[in-house]
Amino acid sequence: MPAAQSALVIGGGIAGPVAATALLMAGIDATVYEARPASAANGIGGSLALEPNGLAALRIVGADDAVRAAALPITRSAMSIGNKPGRDVPTPQGLPPRQLIDRGALHRVLDDRTQRAGVRIHHDKKLIRVDEHPDGITAHFADGSSASADLLIGADGVHSIVRRLIDPQAPDARYLGLLGFEGLADDGVDTRALEPGAMTFAFGRRAYYLYWKRPDGRIGWGANLPSPQYLSLKEARDVPADDWLQTLRTAYAGDVPGARLAAETTSDSLQAVGALHIMPPVPHWHRGRMVLVGDAVHAPSNSTGQGASLAMESAIELARCLRDLPDVPTAFTAYERLRRPRVEKIAARGARIGRAKAPGPVAQRMMRLLIPLMLKSMKLDKTMSAEQHYTIDWDTPVSTELSNIT
């Protein structure tokens, strides 16, 4: 018998649908409430890389094959500093490739899987407050409606309201001073040197970017533009794309191939994809009948490539704890105990790389020395290998795992 019978899942991004499906598999009736209107899913832009551990988590809820079918496998990765040719980044042995997927396509796959599992997803439901009572919790939404259940799961992203409801003193997400953009260039690099699925992480003179060859021969690229001024996604999209193109062309002037990528991108193939944030350690992951998953509680720097994959893992581990443990407080405590060390270790690694993304002249010189050494050392390989080989054993009772880590 699970620790609860029903759950309200706030947020229908990535962690929310995965959590709801896993909860249903655990015998808990879950419903997703998402603030965006249903039609907004098509407007979610940009690409997202999922690591093998994220795909392993998706296998548990039966969504991995559909994700792979819609994604581009990244078969080779390189890192370049300044205008030096890229150096291959070692990939962990014995793992399938990371998968690059359009964010909108990922949402469609997850929503489809979740609804086929029997979960209801309600759109236009922005949580504004909750009432806790002895036998349950009630969520109140901006449209005046409400819903009640035994539990409430905050899968509502970096600007989570549930985090604040759990602990009014909880830290806010920290803006990294970088705005994300994604573009498509018809030309821009010596495409003969690139095979489809080859991705390069490039530390330019003023800004970081990455690019990859697509199966249609074009080059996809992502820019992390240094910007002391924070802009929400809506604010960034309100700025005409032509203005952003000019800014990007200045930021990547002199970079090879960054300057060509910016020059070859047109305003209709450029989109703002959001400001970059990290979540500092959150002291309280749960309180009473409320608990957090995904970016709401652990958003690492996007340099780790692990944000979405960790969100999926946590969603599944939470459902497993609620399935196996006798009551809600015990399940929430076990969930935090199983997840916190892993997500904080990965966040700490991300913070180290993140500092190199908007380098000043001194940091630039340091990076030229440090990154080749990092690449050579086995440590990076071992670290990534441990991160990416991680799997959750859904069939093993949580109590067995907990007794192994005491």
Q: Count the helices and strands in the chain (H runs, E runs).
A: 13, 19
Residue 88: count other Cβ atoms within 10 Å of its Cβ: 12
What residue has token string 């700025």?
239
Task: Compute the residue count for the chain.
Answer: 406
HSE-CB for 238 with a 13 A CA cutoff: 5
How would you class 406 by CB atoms within 10 Å of its CB: exposed for 0-12, middle for 13-18, buried for 19 or more?
Answer: exposed
Q: Is 156 in the site for ligand FAD (CB under 6 A)?
A: yes
Q: Is 185 in the site for ligand FAD (CB under 6 A)?
A: no
User: What residues numbered 29-48 form the site for ligand FAD, per CB under 6 A?
Assistant: 33-36, 46, 48
SS3 call for 282? coil
User: What residues numbered 263-292 form the site for ligand FAD, per CB under 6 A?
Assistant: 273-274, 276
x-marked contacts with ligand FAD along 357-396 as a string, rule CB under 6 A:
----------------------------------------
Q: CB under 6 A: which stretch of 130-138, 189-197, 300-308, 386-394 binds ligand FAD?
A: 300-308
Dist. CA 103–CA 313, nearest whole Å: 18
Q: Is 183 in the site for ligand FAD (CB under 6 A)?
A: no
Q: How far is the CB of 151 from ligand FAD (least distance, A)?
A: 16
Q: How far is the CB of 173 from ligand FAD (least distance, A)?
A: 10
Dist. CA 325–CA 332, nearest whole Å: 9
HSE-CB for 405 with a 13 A CA cutoff: 10
User: What residues numbered 91-130 form the site for ligand FAD, per CB under 6 A?
Assistant: 125-127
Dist. CA 74–CA 199, nearest whole Å: 7
x-marked contacts with ligand FAD along 204-243 as a string, rule CB under 6 A:
----------------------------------------
Which of residues 245 and 273 has its CB atom nearest to ligand FAD in the complex?
273
- Write phi, then psi, for 4 (nearest 5 degrees): -150, 165
- Which residue of 2, 7, 9, 13 would you call a contact of ligand FAD, by CB under 6 A? 13
Q: Is 321 in the site for ligand FAD (CB under 6 A)?
A: no
Q: Cα separations (Å) of 247 from 203, 239, 253? A: 17, 11, 10
How would you class 157 by CB atoms within 10 Å of its CB: exposed for 0-12, middle for 13-18, buried for 19 or more?
Answer: buried
Which of residues 244 and 256 has its CB atom nearest to ligand FAD in the complex?
244
Q: How far is the CB of 154 from ligand FAD (least distance, A)?
A: 9
Q: What angle do CA 287, 293, 297 make, to 5 degrees?
A: 75
Task: Select from 121, 133, 107, 80 the least CA-distant residue to 356.
Answer: 80
Q: Is 61 in the site for ligand FAD (CB under 6 A)?
A: no
Dist. CA 208–CA 192, nearest whole Å: 23
Q: CB under 6 A: which stretch of 13-21, 67-75, 198-206, 235-243 binds ligand FAD?
A: 13-21
- Which residue of 22, 166, 308, 371 would you call a contact of ligand FAD, by CB under 6 A? 308
**Site for ligand FAD (CB under 6 A): how many residues?**
36
x-marked contacts with ligand FAD along 333-352 as a string, rule CB under 6 A:
--------------------
Which of residues 53 and 80 has its CB atom nearest to ligand FAD in the complex?
53
Q: Is 307 in the site for ligand FAD (CB under 6 A)?
A: yes
Using CB under 6 A, list all residues that contact ligand FAD.
Answer: 10-16, 33-36, 46, 48-49, 125-127, 155-157, 161, 180, 273-274, 276, 294-296, 299, 302, 305-309, 311
